[in-house]
Structure formats: structure tokens, C-alpha cells
Amino acid sequence: MTSLKWNQVNSWRLSRNHLLERADSDQLLEVAGRICGLHAQLMSAAELSLWARVEGISPADIKSAIWRKRQLVKTWAMRGTLHLISAIDFPLYVAALSLHAHYRRDSWLKYHGITLDELGQIIEGVRVTLNDSGMMREQLAEAIAKRARNPKFAELLNSGWGTLLKPAAFQGHLCFGPSQGQKITFVRPDKWIGAWKDIDPQEALKEILRRYLSAYGPATTGDFARWWGLQPPAAKRFFKSLGDEVEEVEVEGWKAWALASLIKQISHHKASGSVRLLPHFDPYVLGAPRSCGRIIPEAHRDRIFRPSAWISPVVLVDGRMEGVWNYEKKRSQVVVKIEMFAPPAATVKRSIEREAKRLGEFFEMKVCVDY
């Protein structure tokens, strides 16, 4: 079994996440693909995840990639949460997401007050109703209810957080379109970004596992299960299906799996000194193994992973989460509040202030740093 050091693993992960050196602005889509999409429950957080990794971009550039150029697709993906996925990778993710079957269980159907047949009517209603013109949720709900001659569909589809629409998204029939004022809209993906060739779902999830390990490995089967939204036994089966492509490694007593082709590359890395301000729900934080205190300090875990699945912005130092932060826009300036878990070294403090200055440039505002 290959033995690795944490400074090697952390530095390699940072390089794969473009958190050692920012990518050029024309690599925005490549970055989004390499880190397996961007968590987009908060669109501002998704924008800052790209800001942390890509040089010289603006919020307008990101919005243009989503809504004008249609190069990034907003949809429900991993763990049933909103993500921005590269349009090129969208068919791969849809194929893998189509393996989700939890919504076909009797307990899930009973909880939501529908039958399996009615769920099928909703999914088919989404498929035949949507096109590339944004349709508001209320409009979609009414259209599906009218088509199925079932008035209760309108009430069900307008309530909650869109849970009953997620199965259609997992099958590639729905993604988000441009908002109309404060109202979200939905479009049909193959009309929005163009048709694609279907991919075998099992092979798709195996490829996503490879990509996950390429960005966040070494990782345990439990880490991948949590990240994707799988039951642990199913995650173990997918790791096993990769055969000799994966190899178990030991990182200072912690055992996990890595792509065999990348182990030598990992071993050549060393401590980097990188400091980054990562936003809420950053992919690096979501992809990191939570069972290891060398990345996420045990004593401060609850300050990062908050109640109701809320993920705090973190101060990342050499791949370790060493503090949390936040920002507030006040008139002509943005105030960045830093809360380190321990007093930072002078070099770290200077790096934090440089990152905060970059943040101000991103917002086109003056910046004030408060410890």
C-alpha cells in the first residue's frame, strides 16, 4: 500500500481545484467540469466559487455563460441540490442521475400524496410541456394538471421546494431557465442546449466516480456516497467496478482510495502556502472527506457544517479549513469579516488581505477587512 503525506494530498487537491493558481478566464468551463460542477443553492456562492479559481472574471461573465451562451446548466443534481453543470457534461450527469430510484418507493410516494402512476404522469407532463422558452412554475403546474385532468397536481407542484419536479430533472426533462423578475422558470434541456446521445447510466456513474477521485481523492467509499447521494453499499459496488483503476493508499494512518494512475503525481506535491477565501457550499468543502481532522478540525466542525445542511464560507490555508468568514456590502464598500480558529501567521494574514482585495475587485467595490 502506498503511503502519502497530508501536505502532498492537500497540495494535489488544491492544484486539481485550481486553488494553487487561478485558471485563465477562457478556462471557466473547463474549471467547472474539472471540479464536478458548482453548488448553486445560492447563485452568489456559485459565482464566488468560480472567482476563487478563475482569473479576471466578473459576475456578468458567469451569468452570460448560463443564460446567454447556455454553456452552464442550472439543475437539480448531486444530493438533489441545485448545481451548475457544464452543458458538455450535462448528458453524463443526467445518465447517472437517472439511476436514482428513491422516488419510486412506496414510502416516498405516500409522503408526497401521489401514486407511482401519477408520478409518471407528472414526469411525462414536464417532458411534453416544456420547451426553450422559460415557463414559470405556476404555469407548468397548471399545464400538467390540465393535461392529466387531475386538479391536485397544480396544488402539489406549487408547494414545497419543487421536490415533485426533481424526478423529471433527474431524467433530463427539466432544468432552470432565466428568471422572470423574482419568478424562476424551467426549460427542457434538449431544447435549451441541444439534443445529445444517451449514455449508459452505469457507465456514466463510473465516469463521475473517476472525475470525483480526480478532483477530491483520495477518498473513502463513504465520502463518495455522501457527495453523490448514494447508499454506502451501492458506492462500494461502484468503487469495486473500477477494478485496478483504483488503489488503496494510506495518508498518515488514514486509508482511502485513489486513481492508480494519479498516485505518483500526488506523491510529487508538497506544501504550497496557498490561501483562499471559499464561499458558502464551495465544491472543495463539499468534496472533502469529513472523517479526517487534518483537513476539517474536529473542534470547529460545527462552525463549518451548520444545521439544516448550511455550509459556511471557509478560510482555506494549504488545503486545511482554518477559519470561517463572511462579507457584507455597505454602501460603496464590502466588509469582509474573518474568524480564524487560531491566530494566523503574518504571511497567512497578508494572503487573506490580498484575497479580500481581489474580492473587492470582483464586486467593483472598496474592501475593508475585519478580524
Contact by Cβ (8 Å): 154, 145: yes
The residues, any chain, with a CB within 8 Å of residue 148's CB and separated by 6 or more, are 118, 121, 122, 125
How many independent structural domains does the chain possess?
Answer: 2
Q: Is residue 237 part of a domain?
A: no
Q: Is residue 312 part of a domain?
A: yes
In the block, cell 466578473 appears at 58
Contact by Cβ (8 Å): 84, 46: yes
pLDDT of residue 251: 97
Measured CA angle at 303 (ends 235, 333), to 5 deg: 115
Q: Is residue 69 part of a domain?
A: no
Q: Is residue 19 part of a domain?
A: no
Q: Is residue 87 part of a domain?
A: no
Give a three-class secondary structure readout of 53-111.
CECCCCHHHHHHHHHHCCCEEEEECHHHCEEEEECCCHHHHHHHHCCCCHHHCHHHHHH
Q: Is residue 118 part of a domain?
A: yes
Q: Spell out, as residue ranges, where the chain has pLDDT lower than 70.
A: none
Q: What are the strands of the beta sheet with 254-259, ordered from one edge?
A: 2-4, 246-251, 254-259
Residue 160 and residue 170: Cα distance in Å, rounded? 18
What is the value of pTM for the model shown? 0.96
Residue 327 and residue 313: Cα distance in Å, rounded? 10
pLDDT of residue 160: 76
Q: Domain residues for 165?
A: 99-171
Final residue of a structural domain among 123, 143, 171? 171
Final residue of a structural domain among 118, 144, 171? 171
pLDDT of residue 350: 97
Q: Is residue 310 part of a domain?
A: yes
Residue 287 and residue 129: Cα distance in Å, rounded? 35
